[in-house]
Amino acid sequence: MRKRHKIIFILLGLLLSFSAYLYAQVHYSNYTFSIPFGRTYDYANIIVSRVVDGDTLVLENGERVRLIGIDTPEMHESDKLDRDSQRSGEDKRTIRELGKRAYMFTKSLVEGKRVSLEFDVEKHDRYERLLAYVFLKDQARTFVNAEIVKEGYASLMTFPPNIKYADLFLKLYREARENRRGLWK
């Protein structure tokens, strides 16, 4: 029984210590809250570790990012590939090939590079991916979502309330189609 009391006493001590720490953070640090362990990430300066497909990235912290406002063809068997094939009349093999081209373009654009994320109204989708506009940390501050559309590797996919750049994307999409760039060749 003494061992049990000792464990309870230690846990209470840790709880009180943590509570005191939180109290100090809230009352003496201009109302900021931070946890004393773990790593935080600066979405204004983070590396894209991997490109999943033409419109989805993985950051160095393991979080997935879905690029807002754009949609690239599917590369893998999925329900979405089936729907896209039925909707467009294209066979699935053709769609997967277009998806690979979009993936390769996005990969060459961002993989291994530093980016900054800009969020719109909603920060996550139903799959818990971050929803973001992505900008390369290069001299031109290349707008990744827009560049993919501009070069003809994506269609538009707008879901209100995340519509901040919808007009720009529509303009770039029309230009890419008219000029037969990327997937529109």
Catalytic residue, candidates 63, 96, 101, 129: 129
Active site residue 97: no
Active site residue 129: yes
Contacts of 84 (CB under 8 A, 6+ apart): 73, 74, 90, 95
CA 184 distance to own-chain centroid: 25
Active site residue 4: no
* DSSP designation for 184: G
CB 111 within 8 A of CB 89: no
Residue 116's identity, in one-letter code, is: S
Catalytic residue, candidates 66, 96, 101, 147: 66
Contacts of 22 (CB under 8 A, 6+ apart): 33
**Residues present in the chain in total:** 185
Distance of alpha carbon 146 from alpha carbon 68, whole angstroms: 10
What amino acid positions are annotated as catalytic residues? 66, 74, 129
